[in-house]
Amino acid sequence: MSAEASMKVELDATEVALIIGEEDGSMSVRVVSGSEMPEDAEELPAAPEIVLALAMRLLKDPDFHDEVLDWYYNQPDEDDAEEG
């Protein structure tokens, strides 16, 4: 990845990011946390658990990204919501 294509995002300690990209025509998914997760934790906090679940669903369910896009495109625009 070139320096121009690379972007730094700083996360707060309580934030978790799902990074979706495309590599050689295939989707790539990364999960990045603003703080280290303890390896011996019995369960994850809600935010990392939700992000990991989304990442796994995107990777294992090829139709899921289409469902997400359909949902997104069917949401009213903010301008439409204000007019209605």
Q: Are 44 and 53 in contact (CB under 8 A)?
A: no
Higher-pLDDT residue of 48, 81: 48
Tokens of 49: 């658990």
Average pLDDT for 43-67: 90
Instruction: Tell me how far apart the alpha carbons of residues 68 and 45 are, in angstroms, rounded to a whole number.
Output: 24
Provide the pLDDT for residue 81. Answer: 60
Q: Count Cβ neighbours within 10 Å for each residue of 12-27 and write b for 16 or more, e otherwise.
A: eeeebeeeeeeeeeee
Share of the chain above pLDDT 70, in %: 86
pTM of the entire predicted model? 0.69
Average pLDDT for 27-46: 85
Share of the chain above pLDDT 90, in %: 36
